[in-house]
Structure 1
Amino acid sequence: MTTRDQRHGWRKVLFENGLSLAFALLFLGALAGQALAGHARFNRELLDDGFAPVSLGGYVTSSAFGVDVLENWQSEFLQFLVFIVATVWLVQRGSPESKPLDRAGRESDAQQRVGRFAGPAAPRAARGHGLRRTLYSHSLALVMGAVFVTSWLGQSLAGAVVYSDEQVRGGHDPVSWAQYLRLPDFWDRTLQNWQSEFLAVLAMVILSVYLRERGSPESKPVGAPHDATGVAG
């Protein structure tokens, strides 16, 4: 393969994966920025309390950084999990985020193109039967749910450590993980993220009925009527 062919091949890969690559870079950039800003804030709080500051490496491997990261991850994956499952059964007239009104529910094998209705290019699991096809039919929600539960568990464990450290620095007794789960601190951190995620989904579902973004698959075509449901641009 010539150098020119290699360059063309890389351009093709970048073009075909541009959306995921762009968001991966945005994620890493934001995570790095959060680490730097959080490290500065954390050290300021330590100095104010009369403790020695920690290195950046010490901070990013600490529970203080972990709880801030994981509490956002768990709320994001909860948002997608709820949205994925809810849109199986619930519809919104006029929203491209909804299925057409007459397709609410699990749909038939023919509509889902599984089993004997699967085409030659369909995933092997979709052409199969039994448990394998059942698991694959729900694999997106299962993975989203697993990430949500794992990150929620990680957030709660890290949060308990952070809360206990703050208690000790203030001259109070630390708490166990089970005790932390019953404290307002945990549910305040958790629910303030959940409510914002559900609000964002609600806004997207409703605003996309009446507003447009030309060329985006998250929007209806600019000229589509407001009551057109499940229409992508």
Structure 2
Amino acid sequence: MRRFLKDNALSLFFLLLFVLALTGQSVAGNSAYNDRQRAEGGAAVSWPEYVTSSEFAVDVAENWQSEYLQFLLFIMATVWWVQRGSPESKKPGDEGPESDEKQQVGRYAGPDSPAWARTAGLRQKLYGNSLGAVMGLVFLLSWLAQSVAGRAAHNSQQLARLQDPLGWGEYVVSADFWNRTLQNWQSEFLAVLSMVVLSVYLRQRGSPESKPVGAPHGATDVEG
């Protein structure tokens, strides 16, 4: 057990933070929702009712889809584009999917390489793009969940104001949907930009996301 905890400490740490943050969001969100309900003359709802409501679902889904979009774009952009001096980038001149030898696939794969990396053709191609594909799939599913839950939450407010509800197609081109979406996207893009640029000049000793403290600012694709 100690070996398992040590070998998986980073993922377990963030899993714990995720569970705590999601739980805290649900409790705080339930309280804020009930405050609005009472102010508008409505009835308060219990925590189980709130966490299964469209109000909670849309808040969660809109954050998930923006996070996975951030990672998807970062994964794909770093294949083709570089930032000189950043440990988040490949070296200038290494743009592109790289050779089989460098990627250790096919006849260049080692005995402990993943099975699909040792094959050729479709299976190797699928495995070679599996990370971006899964990130893209989760983004699309989260975006769909946001649109469905957001429409339900929006229509609840519309009906409370004696206004006509919107169809799914109408909602996904509405200001409410894109306000929710873009306010998350812009923050994610700014965070990635900050990480890429600041890591050229600043350091965090011991972190693989940073260059070694003494590495020149122009050193690229170097991790501490």
For the aligned pair, the TM-score class normalised by the smaller chain equals over 0.9
Residue of structure 2 equivalent to 1:4: none
2:90 counterpart of 1:95: no
Residue of structure 2 equivalent to 1:192: 183
Amino acid across the alignment from 1:159: G
Show CA shifts across 1:158-185 (max 9, x none): 0000000001111211111111112111
Unaligned runs of 5+ in 1: 1-9
Distance, in Å, in 2 between the alignment partners of 1:16 and 1:182 is: 46
2:112 counterpart of 1:121: yes
Distance, in Å, in 2 between the alignment partners of 1:95 and 1:59 is: 44
SS of the residue corresponding to residue 99 of structure 1 reads coil
Show CA shifts across 1:11-63 (max 9, x none): 11111100000000000000000000000011111111111111100000001
SS of the residue corresponding to residue 159 of structure 1 reads helix
- Report matched runs for 1:65-214 at 5 Å: 65-214=56-205
Unaligned runs of 5+ in 2: none
Figure out how many residues of one structure are paired with residues of the other and give that number.
224
Amino acid across the alignment from 1:98: S
Amino acid across the alignment from 2:149: A
CA shift for structure 1 position 200:
0.3
2:223 counterpart of 1:229: no
Distance, in Å, in 2 between the alignment partners of 1:86 and 1:175 is: 36
Question: What RMSD over aligned residues (CA atoms) do the two structures have, in Å?
Answer: 0.6
Match of 1:55 among 46, 54, 62: 46
Residue of structure 2 equivalent to 1:24: 15
SS of the residue corresponding to residue 204 of structure 2 reads coil
Poorly superposed stretches of 4+, deviation over 2 Å: none
TM-score, normalization by structure 1: 0.95
